[in-house]
Amino acid sequence: MFSACAPARDCASPATRCRRPGFTLVEILVVISIIGILISITIPAVMHAKHAAARAQCGENLRQLALATTLFETTHGHMPGYLQKFGEFNGGVDPTDPSNYAGNVPRHVKVGGWPIALLGQLGNQPAYERWSLDRYPIIADNQSINAPTAEGYSPFAAVNFETFICPSASNYLTTRGINHYVANTGMHADSFPFTYTRPGSPARTVGFAKSQHHDNGIFNNQYAGFVGSAPTQLVATGKPFRIDDCDDGASQTMLLSENHQAGALYRTRLTNNTNHLTNIVNVNGKDVVEYPASSRYLQGAVWHFEDPNGFAGAPTPNAVHKINGGDVYLDLMTAANAPDLARPSSLHDGGVNMAMVDGSVRFVTESISYPIYQALLTPSGRSSDVPNNEFVPLDPI
Q: What is the pLDDT of residues 283-323, one digit of tens each?
A: 999 999 999 999 999 999 999 999 999 999 999 999 999 99
Q: What is the pLDDT of residue 339?
A: 96
- Are 242 and 236 within 8 A, CB to CB? no
Q: What number is the average pLDDT over the span 30-40?
A: 82
Within-domain flag for 150: no
For residue 263, tell me if it sits in a domain.
yes
Q: How many CB atoms lie within 10 A of CB 165?
A: 18
Q: Has residue 309 been placed in a domain?
A: yes
**What percent of the chain stands above pLDDT 90?**
77
> In the beta sheet, which residues pair with residue 315?
none
pLDDT of residue 46: 62
Q: What is the pLDDT of residue 1?
A: 41
User: pLDDT value at position 36?
Assistant: 82
Sign of torsion, CA 124 125 126 128?
A: positive
Phi, psi of 55 (to 5 degrees): -65, -40
The pLDDT assigned to 330 comes to: 86
pLDDT digits (tens, 9 = 90+) for 41-57: 777 766 666 778 899 99
Q: Is the pLDDT assigned to residue 18 strictly greater than 80?
A: no
Residue 6 confidence (pLDDT): 47
DSSP label at residue 148: P
pLDDT at 133: 98
Give the distance, in angstroms, between the CA of residue 375 and the centroid of all CA atoms in the same chain.
19
How many domains, the chain?
A: 1
- 46-50, 191-195, 213-217, 329-333, range with the lowest pLDDT: 46-50
Percentage of residues in the chain with pLDDT exceeding 70? 91
120-158 per-position pLDDT tens digit: 999 999 999 999 999 999 999 998 888 899 999 999 999
Task: Calculate ∠ Cα 115-305-334, nearest 5°.
Answer: 50
Query: Closest Cα partner for 292 from 65, 81, 66?
Result: 81
In a domain, 147, yes or no: no
Examine residue 324 and state whether it is found in any structural domain, yes or no: yes
* Average pLDDT for the chain: 91
Range(s) of the domain holding residue 355? 25-77+161-383
Q: How does residue 20 score in pLDDT terms, banded at 50, 70 and 90?
A: low
Within-domain flag for 91: no
Taken in order 255, 260, 265, 271, the sign of the CA dihedral is: negative
Q: 30 vs 363, which has greater pLDDT?
A: 363
In a domain, 397, yes or no: no
**pLDDT (tens digit per residue) in 67-105:** 999 999 999 999 999 999 999 999 999 999 999 999 999
In which band, very low, low, confident or very high, does the pLDDT at 2 lie, cut at 50, 70 and 90?
very low
Is position 106 within any domain? Answer: no
The residue among 236, 248, 218, 188 whose CA lies nearest residue 386 is: 188
Dihedral angle sign, alpha carbons of residues 110, 111, 117, 123: negative
Start-to-end CA span in the chain (Å): 98
Q: What pLDDT does residue 306 have?
A: 97
pTM for the model = 0.87
- pLDDT, average across residues 355-382: 97
pLDDT digits (tens, 9 = 90+) for 168-211: 987 666 789 999 999 999 999 877 788 999 998 999 999 999 99
Dihedral sign for Cα atoms in the order 117, 121, 123, 125: positive
> How many other C-beta atoms are found inside a 10 Å radius of the C-beta of residue 309?
11
